[in-house]
Amino acid sequence: MSGIALLLDLLKKNPSLATQSLHSYSLLSATVAASAAAASVAAVNPFAYRAIFGEYGLPIAYCDAGASVAWNTEDISTGQSASEDTLADSLCKTKEYPLETKSLFSAFKLKSLAMTSLRSFLLFYLPLLEPRPPFEETDDLLHEASEEKPVDLVTPFHNSLKQIIREVSVVTTRRVLERFAVHHVSRRMAWKILKDLPKSAKRKAARGMPTLLFVYSVGRTTFRGHFLGVAASWIVQVIIEIYRCFFRKHINDDEDLDMNERFRLFRRKFYGTIVKSSASLVFASAGAGIGALFHPSTGQWIGCALGDFAGPIIAVICFEKFHLQL
């Protein structure tokens, strides 16, 4: 670059050359200099480099190329900057969908397994701590019969172990379904299914939506995010019902049931499981939308938990009211 500039100065100082040839030489040398400058820029900074990674290094000045090609270099730089700005805007407007899948055996971690065990044991042992009604002195026979009956501690223990196995199976099945969703659905849909629901409700609350639209949006997001959990619970419950209907040895009168009766019983259990799971999903979504009105994150979580618990109970009460078996 500096050598070309020196050559231009020597040609301008030479009196033997004509003015027209000087002008043509300067224009030609300026064009060559501008081409060399553009080539050096393209070699050092590729297309859209500055728009993505920023401006680094020394800025290139175009004044050495001469004033005759200033308009040309200006048009080139303007077109390149416009294309770079367009690419940068498109990159900024593109929404990213981060997928964060939890460990496949997260239910077997110490903290999670301890919480599941504590919850299961409290569920079956707390009823044993209920206060018994006082007996009058005239009820001697009833009082003696109640004292002779020992407290059964083995059955709640077995039920607690079964509940622990069931909850661990549900969580593990959900992790398998999450990986299936990541590999077999679109990235956008997988992100909607696996997103953190309380954080999503908090982001929606910050947008200033109307009340009805906010409740609907939170309920729809909860429906998508809670679907895999309900599906995992449904799969585990169906497997349990298959074992109870076809493989478990019955001690009561159901032992003499033939295969047709077993299939009929399984169809009724299967239908009841679908109804309870659907009610759980619907009421959990509605509860999350209503709870988010009080607090975006905590209210959404509490409303979802309450709806998930109350949904099957409400379904059973409604079916019993209409004298339908479930």
Kindly indicate the confidence band of residue 302, based on its pLDDT and cuts at 50, 70 and 90: very high
Alpha-carbon distances, residue 71 vs 5, 66, 85, 101, 293 (angstroms): 19, 10, 21, 55, 60
Provide the mean pLDDT of the chain: 75
Q: What percent of the chain has pLDDT over 70?
A: 61
Between residues 51 and 220, the one the model is more confident about: 220
Between residues 92 and 205, the one the model is more confident about: 205
232 burial (CB, 10 Å; 0-12 / 13-18 / 19+) is buried
Which residue's entry shows tokens 């044993």? 128
User: At residue 92, does pLDDT exceed 70?
Assistant: no
Find, among 246, 124, 102, 111, the residue nearest to 176 by Cα. Answer: 102
CB atoms within 10 A of CB 133: 6
- DSSP sequence for 40-75: HHHHHS-TTHHHHH---SPPPPSGGG-GGGHHHHHH
| SS3 state of residue 313 | helix
Between residues 322 and 256, the one the model is more confident about: 322
CB atoms within 10 A of CB 55: 9
Q: Which two tokens stand for residue 251?
A: 């001690």
The H or E element containing residue 221 is: helix 211-242
Which residue's entry shows tokens 């809670």? 226
* Least confident residue range of 4-8, 93-97, 185-189: 4-8
The H or E element containing residue 92 is: helix 70-93
- Determine phi and psi for 228, rounding to 5 degrees: -65, -35
User: At residue 176, does pLDDT exceed 90?
Assistant: yes
Terminal alpha carbon distance of the chain: 88
Kindly indicate the confidence band of residue 99, based on its pLDDT and cuts at 50, 70 and 90: confident
Between residues 234 and 88, the one the model is more confident about: 234
Specify which of 88-97, 132-141, 217-226, 247-256 reaches the highest per-range mean pLDDT. 217-226
- Whether the CB-CB separation of 190 and 139 falls below 8 Å is answered with no
**Chain segment 10-33, per-residue pLDDT in tens:** 555 555 544 444 444 444 444 544
| SS3 state of residue 185 | coil
Which residue's entry shows tokens 């009211």? 321
SS3 sequence of 248-301: CCCCCHHHHCCHHHHHHHHHHHHHHHHHHHHHHHHHHHHHHHHHHHHCCCHHHH
